Structure 1
């Protein structure tokens, strides 16, 4: 169980999409601030979009707790925003060249040695403010 999560983060930090996707089952589900995605192509698109926005993104694992087929991982993600980043408002923020550092919570469900479900949580307000977005751009109250 822990092996596939370790492999995932190693591949994620290398921005190696083939290795990342090799950690997932054939029909994975992933949930992040942008909403749920299903299937290998959608999960892969999510990863490439993040790496396009933050080409030097690096995730440092702070803590990992494994129980049965579930792993909970806290991380801090750091990188410079140089490419298009999709906002939850539907807009796209072009490179701000700002450096960000955001703590994240990741939850993985693993079956037969592969990730079947991945959920990522982070403080979007913290990220948006680090990117220089005024509160008025974040959507209606």
Structure 2
């Protein structure tokens, strides 16, 4: 069943939105640092915005652990920030041209060969510092 996760990673690295969406059920839920994203159209929009901000983003899988209908993946995301990127503070960071390399982890709940739930974790502080944001900008909004 975890082959869907392999297809997901390949589709992400190819920036193939159709192939990524084929990995999800009809009513998927994804939860990441920005909060929950529900439904296929919201999830598709998330990937589109991510690739606009980092058009060369690529994941290198470090480890995959499978336990029945659950799969966990650790990876390193790399890419150059060349487009608008929505921060978890609600601000949008315009292109910095900076290269990022950030550790991340995904937990997938799988059912009938598709992703029904995905939890996304990444080191936000590591990412924001690599993008050149000062620590003072990472606090609560004014």
Q: TM-score range by the shorter chain?
A: over 0.9
- Computed over aligned residues only, the root mean square deviation of the Cα atoms, in angstroms, reads 0.9
1:1-141 equivalences in 2 (<5 Å): 1-140=1-140
Question: Deviation of residue 45 (structure 1)?
Answer: 0.8
TM-score after normalising by structure 1: 0.98
Aligned equivalents of 1:134 and 1:4: distance in 2?
38
Aligned equivalents of 2:9 and 2:59: distance in 1?
7
Number of aligned residue pairs? 141
Question: Deviation of residue 140 (structure 1)?
Answer: 2.7
Q: Deviations over 1:45-66 (max 9, x none)?
A: 1111111100000000000000
Aligned equivalents of 2:140 and 2:22: distance in 1?
40
Query: Structure 1: which 5+ runs fail to align?
Result: none
Question: Deviation of residue 139 (structure 1)?
Answer: 2.2
Question: Deviation of residue 2 (structure 1)?
Answer: 1.5
Partner of 2:79, secondary structure, is strand
Question: Deviation of residue 99 (structure 1)?
Answer: 0.2
Aligned equivalents of 1:83 and 1:7: distance in 2?
26
Partner of 1:48, secondary structure, is helix
Q: Deviations over 1:51-95 (max 9, x none)?
A: 110000000000000001000000000000000000111100001
State whether residues 89 and 140 of structure 2, in contact with CA within 8 Å, keep that contact through their aligned partners in structure 1: no
TM-score after normalising by structure 2: 0.97
Aligned equivalents of 1:92 and 1:8: distance in 2?
27
Aligned equivalents of 1:45 and 1:74: distance in 2?
23
